[in-house]
Structure 1
Amino acid sequence: EECLAMAAQAIRDADNRQWMPGVCWTEYARGILDLGLGRYEAMLDRVDRAMTGPTRHAFLWRYSWPDYIEAAVRVGDPQRARDRLRRYTEWAESTGRPAPLAILHRARALLAPDNATGPLYERALALHAEGRQPFDEARTRLVYGEWLRRTRRRAEARTQLQAAMEAFDRIGAVPWSDRAAAELRVTGLSLPDHARAGDPLDVLTPQELQVVRLAVTGASNREIGAQLFLSPRTVASHLYKAFPKLGVASRAELARLTLGDR
Structure 2
Amino acid sequence: MVARSPDDPAVREHALLGGMILGDDDAMLELAAAEVADRRRRGLAGALPGALGALAQAQVMAGRHRDAEAGVAEAMDIARDAGLNGSVRGLGGVLARIAAIEGDEDRCRELTGDASDAFDATVESALSLLDLGLGRYDSALRRLERAWHGPARHSPLLLFAAADQVEAAVRADRPERAAEPLRRFEEWAEATCRPWARAVALRGRALLLDEEEHYGAAVRMHGEGGRPFERARTELLYGEWLRRARRRSDARAPLRSALEIFERLHAAPWAERARSELRATGETGAAVARPVASDQLDRLTPQEAQVVRLAAEGTSNRDIAAQLFLSPRTVEYHLYKAYPKLGVSSRRELSGLESGADPSGGRFALNTADS
Q: CA deviation at 1:60?
A: 2.2
Partner Cα separation in structure 2 for residue 69 and residue 46 of structure 1: 13
Q: Secondary structure at the match of 1:55?
A: coil
> Counterpart in 1 of 2:109?
4
Contact 2:137–2:171 under 8 Å retained in 1 = yes
Instruction: Pick from 228, 232, 245 the counterpart of residue 138 of structure 1.
Output: 232
2:246 to 125, 128, 152: 152
Shift of 1:141: 0.5
Counterpart of 2:162 (choices 62, 65, 74) is 65
Task: Give the distance between the partners of 2:135 and 2:267, measured in 1 at CA.
Answer: 14
> Partner of 2:135: helix, strand, or coil?
coil
* 1:130 alignment partner, SS class: coil
1:104 equivalenced with 2:198 (yes/no): no
Task: Say whether residues 1:176 and 2:273 are aligned partners.
Answer: no
> Residue 136 of structure 2 aligns to which amino acid in structure 1?
R
Q: Which of the residues 118, 123, 129 maps onto 1:26?
A: 123
Q: Could you tell me how far apart the structure 2 residues matched to 1:48 and 1:105 are?
A: 21
Q: CA deviation at 1:59?
A: 3.0
TM-score, normalisation: structure 2: 0.48
Aligned amino acid, residue 2 of structure 1: R
Counterpart of 1:193?
Answer: 289
How far off is 1:137 after superposition?
0.6
Q: CA offset at residue 85 of structure 1?
A: 1.0
- 1:190 deviates by 2.5
Structure 2 runs not aligned, ≥5 long: 1-105, 292-371
| Residue 255 (structure 1) aligns with | none
One-letter amino acid of the counterpart of residue 192, structure 2: T
What residue number does 1:208 align with? Answer: none
Distance in 2 (CA, whole Å) between partners of 1:171 and 1:179 is 14
**Residue 161 of structure 1: how far off its partner (Å):** 0.9
Query: Residue type of the partner of 1:185?
Result: R
1:159 Cα deviation from its structure 2 partner: 1.2
Give, as a single letter, the amino acid of the residue that structure 1 aligns with 2:261: A
- CA distance in 2: counterparts of 1:189 and 1:129, whole angstroms: 24
4+ long deviations beyond 4 Å: none
SS in 1 for 2:161: helix
2:199 aligned counterpart, secondary structure:
helix
> What is the CA distance between 1:52 and its match in structure 2?
2.2
Supply the distance in 2 between the matched residues of 1:137 and 1:157 (Cα, whole angstroms). Answer: 15
Q: Distance in 2 between matches of 1:163 and 1:35?
A: 20
- Provide the aligned length of Structure 1 versus Structure 2: 184
The one-letter code matched in structure 1 to 2:112 is A
Distance 1:51 1:27 in 2: 10
Equivalents in 2 of 1:194, 1:97: separation in Å?
34
Give the secondary structure class of the aligned counterpart of 2:254.
helix
Query: Per-residue displacement from partner, 1:50-88 (whole Å, max 9, x unpaired)?
Result: 122222232321111111111111111111101111111
Structure 1 residue 132: Cα displacement: 2.5
Alignment of 1:91 onto 2:188: yes
Please report how far the alpha carbon of residue 176 of structure 1 lies from its aligned counterpart in structure 2 after TM superposition. 0.2
Structure 1 unaligned regions, length at least 5: 196-262
RMSD (CA atoms): 1.7
Q: Percent identity?
A: 46
Counterparts of 1:156 and 1:39, CA distance in 2: 28
Deviates more, 1:122-131 or 1:77-86: 122-131
Q: 1:79: which partner in 2? A: 176
Whole-angstrom CA distance in 1 between matches of 2:188 and 2:127 = 23
Task: Name the structure 1 match of 2:137.
Answer: 40
Q: 1:132 to 1:52 in 2, by over 3 A?
A: closer
Partner Cα separation in structure 1 for residue 222 and residue 207 of structure 2: 17
Q: Which has the larger radius of gyration?
A: 2
Q: CA deviation at 1:48?
A: 1.5
AA aligned to 2:127 is R
Question: Which structure 2 residues correspond to residues 160-171 of structure 1 after superposition, within 5 A?
Answer: 160-171=254-265
Q: TM-score, normalised by structure 1?
A: 0.67
1:193: Cα distance to partner? 2.1
